[in-house]
A and B are shown apart, each in its own frame.
Chain A
Amino acid sequence: MMEISILLNGTQTATSVEPHETLLIVLRRLGLVSVRFGSDTGETGSSAVLVDGRLVNTDVMLAAQVDGHEVTTVEAFNTPDLDPIQTSFMVTGAIQSGYSTPAMILGTRALIDRNPDPSEADVRDMLSGILDRETGYVKPVEAIMRAAAVMRGDQTEPFEPAILEPMTDGSNPVDVDPSDQPPDVSYAVPRVVPSPDVPEMSVVGKPEIKVDAVRLVKGNPAFVDDFEDRNLLTAKVLRSPHAHANILDIDDSKARALPGVHAVLHYKNTPRVKYASGGQSYPNPHPHDQVSFDDKVRHVGDRVAAVAADTAEIAEEAIRLIEVTYEPLPAIFDERDALLPGAPVIHDEPDTEEIFDRERNIVHHIGANRGDVDRALAGADHVFEHTFRVHQVQPTPIEPHISVAWLDADERMVVRTATQVPFHTRRMLAPLIGRAVKDVRIIKPRIGGGFGAKQEMLIEDIAAHLAIATRRPVKLELTREEEFVSSRTRHPQTLTFKTGVNSDGMLVAQDLYVIGNTGPYGSHAYTVQTVTGLRGLSSYNCPNKRFNCDVVYTNIPVAGAYRGYGAPQAEFALEAHMEDIAHQLGLDPIEFKRRNWVKLGDELDIAPHLGERAVAEDELDEYPRVSSCGVEECMAQASRAIRWHRHADPAWRQPADRPNIRRGIGFAFCMHGTAIPFLDMGGCSMKLNDDGSFNMLIGATDLGTGADTVIGQIAAEVLGVKLDDIKVYSSDTDITPFDTGAYASSTTFISGTAAKVAAEAIRARIKERAAKMLGVDEPCTIELRDNTAWTADGRSVSLEDIALDSLHLEDQEQIMGTGSYVSPDCPPPFGAQFAEIEIDIETGQITVVKLVMAVDCGVAINPMTASGQVEGGMTQALGYAHCEEYAFDADGRMVNAELGPYKIYRADEMPELEVYLVQTMEDSGPFGAKAVAEIPKDGVAPAIRNAILNATGVAINDLPFTPERVWQALRADS
């Protein structure tokens, strides 16, 4: 140990540190929890603080290095009043999960101290050191520019949405005048195109500040690792170096003998209980092909053993001391190889049931059909077939998976964990640790991003097993490398579309065959691939459709849920396929697609035949139909913004002064779903407090998306109060009502409706009480607005008086309401996605210049958070299309399990992002809302692909568009 002395947030502070300890470790030990772990190698920037006024990463700086220096964390600004930087982040919607917000605020402080009038380039350069997987950087840049302006004393306007004139009548296409210009407002400003069908509301549709904003800008304790746990042990996991091997023996004696080690768990001392880790509704789809610790490993990074020890260093040392005898086995990585005769069988254990074809590694075969595809193809005027390959990528939330497990005073298992699915986790964890569901409690605090990776019971069982074994609290946090090799990824797929088209340009048959690669465990294999079929065959009207899919086991890291589920794969293939058909028929791609895409009132004809609630064609009375559709307004707004007319101008596509550059613009039609009908369910309970405010308990899982805010707005609208009068709490399985969780674009639609139902229930009781207090016979004539109950003749009583009366004065009661909701509907949001690119035809380098997306998400309950969702979603999709990719050596070891080599976009290299929110009134949604979270993931890859085609005439059917892949394609074409 050594003593260091630092001027920490203005106070001279002496502390003891180990030579190996990073500044991150020491600051967190000192209680400065705004400094957060994202990686060990400095790339995420979530751990950044100011040292002598400069932004530096504490994960790659030893604590000893700052001896004698000044260190500033965001806690230095922890005064009752907010700093102008903090305020700017709040009002511009720059905060989503808030995990890295303290680092951004500190970087802003350093930047403005040095340069009070920074340019946008200066701001983006500062942000280059802080990766953001959530916002697309648009609103943080705006926040920083605004903060600088405020601190200079410049006048700033309120940050509010821009309300735009509609360009269409809502249903028919228009020709966009090339001279017509999009609105001249900052990209960060939500651009809302209103619908006359949507009534004016008080709270819904307003850019309310997130309900958790203060806690996040101040860096207050909010996330799993931010809370003190006495006697906490640290867990580490021994992971497989082999892609496929039997474990012949484990000798843990040396590890157990190491002082400070409290438990070592593996297959020899842990109950073998079968499960599937995907966080899904009961009953979890088979096969249940996992156990907590197995005697076989199936991918590099698979679990072998786990240790709980006094410190991370001791746990790591113990891991090294575990002696494992492996019997390596042949491995397969490509989904096409898994089906070949003689391929090694990955699940040969007898106790995994319901594998579709074990010998061929086919975990699921999925099929759906409408009409007679073979006959229609045989009779079609033209038949087109194209095959596409999509790759493996990772959600990379900046907060890795982390769980803390302990036995409470009643000896119940409590797990505070970064999860999107607390209730599924409770149900799935209980049997693995031999406990009843009632004896398990899952607490979800703030989550630093999930994007599907945390729709999984991924590590909670390890922490819980160790907590039981040690009878002490145990923390398990994945390293960034573990996040890559042992978390969950997007399924690689090989997709083949075969489409019959008649001479009039109308589709007559679509046949989609997919080989999906789930890695070695089923997880979300069945449902992701059903969504691939659903999304691949829903966008276009066609009387004959067929989906066939083989989902196979391989030895790559496990695939699972990732925002968009199986849709981005399908939409890439579909929109590329349709583009190529149009070109081969000599048709304008947009007109060809428009002729066929689904419109208001059209049937959603494949949806009922796929998924957990699938029915056969002859069992269905009526297909669901599109009940709201703003796609033509989306087309008009987005094509004007991207200046679509340029795509047909040869002089623009081939700039005379840049001979190696070609330009192109690509388009993708987007259509997604909103929740899973008859399955997704959420609950809400509310109560009225003395001052007329409300507590709201919801099981919904805000991952940074703003769900708590949006759901609070819905309730506030019903109750005629301000958002600040609704105190939202989510989620804790002991306290809050059930919710399936944050996935399937369901939260606003399902959990929001549950909140609306609960609020309506409590409103009804408030009205009854108010009617009695005001001497009105008909409670239904009472209106709630401005925190007051009003009679038709203008008399009133405040909610506070109603609350005091009901709680304390007369006929006392707790006014409360509950609600839950499951939907029979799945109204699709629509979107128009455009991409402008430049391609260097000599090097293959693609530069994405601009992405424009116009989205019909119904009524955006909060346009600030909704547009932020689109910006962040497009940015993730941009990475999928362009630069993110798992790379392996010949033995299946990931060679780029580190941010940087695994490339995600940073602030100083982003294309322009322009987002439009096109309102429609979706009657099945709360106050007209549909989903918005996942549709931005769908269209970017095909739009870029089609832009490359527009620029060069070369169609590339494999993702991502990295330079050598594009260069090879261009060479092959020439």
Chain B
Amino acid sequence: MSSIVAYHRPNSLGEAVELLAQSGRSILAGGTAIVPEARSRRADGVELIDLQALQLDGISETEGRLTLGAMVRLGDLATDDRAGELINDLARRELPSAMRNQATVGGTVASASPDSVLIAGLLVHDAQVEFHDGRTSSLSRVLSDGTNGAIIVAVSIDPTGSGSIVATGRTPADLPIVAAVARSTDGGPRLAITGASATVVEVDPSEPTAGLEPPSDFRGSSGYRLELADTLSQRVLKAVS
């Protein structure tokens, strides 16, 4: 009858993997998304595996890349100087304060929300997702293919370069209808767009809207979102040029 029928808090990654191997189990990171979702789910009870004891909440620098543990809270990411101003800003924009103190980097990536400005920021920072089995995959691939049942343990990014976000929303702190996030690199700008596809996508800065087929909803029609994607891309590229 209950929506969440068991709670597990493994003390090792191996134990977590073992628990996850059984059906009807899901990962619990911060809980801001999965707790309400699971509680509102009818009849099909779920068991949650809380990763808080696995010491995945560290941020470390290695060979020019910054590794964000999957359980790093967005509130911490928003204030960590090593992540850079853009990632700080996007972590803050992602959620309001109390939710930000709870939500995690891994949970944000796993949610693959098409509206996530933080995911856009991670994309343009060349994010690589590290899994429990040692595999590493680009964030773009994870967004398109999913995690396939693997546990995200970290996300590494290239923290260099400056970046910017340009967004359109109903209000200044609204979840953007469309946002364009760009970062300057030695090889030219990198650009990602939210709200214009089934997931956040990194696009070719020279043709930012090529192939985009935005969904429509009450906040913006497909055609409007496509116009926004084009306009905001031009602006953000100008800002980082």
Contacts and interface: CB of A to CB of B under 8 A. Distances in A.
A55 B98 contact: yes
Interface in A31-66: 40-43, 45, 48, 54-57, 59-62, 64-65
Interface stretch (B5-13, B125-133, B135-143): B5-13
Given A19-B5, A19-B7, A41-B36, A61 B175 contact: no
A55 B75 CA distance: 10
Given A19-B2, A56-B98, A128-B97, A62 B7 contact: yes
Q: How large is the interface on B (under 10, 10 to 19, 20 to 34, 35 or more residues)?
A: 35 or more
A963 B218 contact: no
Q: Specify the main secondary structure of chain B where it touches its partner.
A: mixed
B173 A906 contact: yes
A963 B2 contact: no
Contacts of B32: 42, 57, 60
Contact of A128 (B36, B40, B42, B173): B173
A18 B232 contact: no
Contacts of B5: 19-20
Contact of B218 (A40, A882, A887): A887
B85 interface: no
B96 A128 contact: yes
Contact of A45 (B98, B173, B177, B231): B98
Contact of A130 (B31, B48, B98, B217): B98
A54 B75 contact: yes
Interface stretch (B18-26, B149-157, B220-228): B220-228
Contacts of A22: 35, 39
Contacts of A565: none
Contacts of A964: 177, 219-221, 224
Contacts of B38: 20
Nearest to B36: A41
A845 B168 contact: yes
B54 to A, nearest CB: 14
B141 to A, nearest CB: 29
Given A313-B2, A883-B170, A883-B171, A125 B43 contact: no
B214 to A, nearest CB: 12
B22 to A, nearest CB: 15
Contacts, number: 143
A127 interface: yes
Given A64-B9, A962-B219, A125 B92 contact: yes
A900 interface: yes
Nearest to B79: A114
A320 interface: yes
Contact of B96 (A129, A313, A840): A129
B213 to A, nearest CB: 17
B97 A55 contact: yes
B218 A895 contact: yes
B50 A65 contact: yes
Contacts of B4: 19-20, 62
B2 A127 contact: no
A317 B2 CA distance: 9
Most chain A CB neighbours (cut-off 10 Å) among B5, B35, B174, B219? B35
A909 interface: yes
A59 B31 CA distance: 10
Nearest to B232: A843
Interface stretch (B60-68, B99-107, B196-204): B99-107
Contact of A64 (B50, B96, B217): B50
Contact of A20 (B3, B43, B228, B231): B3
A722 interface: no
B147 interface: no
A798 interface: no
Contacts of A130: 97-98
Contacts of B3: 20
B31 A963 contact: no
A885 interface: yes
A747 B96 CA distance: 36
A885 B218 contact: yes
B99 A883 contact: no
A963 B98 contact: no
A604 to B, nearest CB: 37
A40 B39 CA distance: 9
Contacts of B231: 842-843
A60 B31 contact: yes
A952 interface: no
B193 to A, nearest CB: 14
A40 B40 contact: yes
B208 to A, nearest CB: 15
Contact of A909 (B31, B172, B217): B172
B48 A42 contact: no
B171 A903 contact: yes
Most chain B CB neighbours (cut-off 10 Å) among A59, A845, A908? A845
A59 B173 CA distance: 22
A35 B36 CA distance: 18
Contacts of A845: 168-169
Nearest to A59: B36
Most chain B CB neighbours (cut-off 10 Å) among A19, A64, A844? A19
A905 interface: yes
A844 B220 CA distance: 11
Most chain B CB neighbours (cut-off 10 Å) among A41, A127, A317? A41
A129 B94 CA distance: 12
A964 B177 CA distance: 10
A60 B99 contact: yes
A429 interface: no
A67 B53 CA distance: 11
B175 A900 contact: yes
A107 B101 CA distance: 11
Contacts of A843: 168, 228, 231-232
Interface string B224-241: 100110011000000000
B28 A62 contact: yes
Nearest to A54: B101
Interface string A112-150: 000000000000011111100000000000000000000
Contact of B98 (A48, A67, A313, A840): A48
A888 B172 CA distance: 24
A883 B174 contact: yes
A129 B43 contact: no
A60 B2 contact: no
A932 B39 CA distance: 42
B52 interface: yes
Given A842-B231, A964-B220, A129 B99 contact: yes
Given A54-B101, A847-B172, A19 B218 contact: no
Nearest to A4: B7
B43 A320 contact: yes
Contacts of A906: 96, 173
Interface in B158-182: 168-175, 177
A967 B224 contact: yes
Contacts of A842: 231
Given A843-B231, A963-B220, A40 B36 contact: yes
Contact of B173 (A54, A126, A908, A962): A908
A842 B166 CA distance: 13
Contacts of A962: 170, 219
B2 A20 contact: yes
B99 A882 contact: no
18 contacts: A42-B36, A55-B101, A62-B4, A62-B7, A62-B35, A65-B52, A127-B97, A128-B96, A317-B1, A320-B43, A843-B168, A843-B232, A882-B171, A883-B170, A883-B174, A903-B171, A906-B96, A909-B173
Closest 9 A-B residue pairs measured CB to CB? A129-B98, A887-B218, A129-B97, A909-B173, A20-B4, A909-B172, A128-B96, A883-B170, A64-B7
Given A40-B40, A62-B28, A963-B169, 5 more contacts: A19-B47, A19-B48, A107-B97, A882-B170, A906-B173
Interface of B: 1-7, 9, 28, 31-32, 35-36, 38-40, 42-43, 47-48, 50, 52, 73, 75, 92, 96-102, 168-175, 177, 217-221, 224, 227-228, 231-232
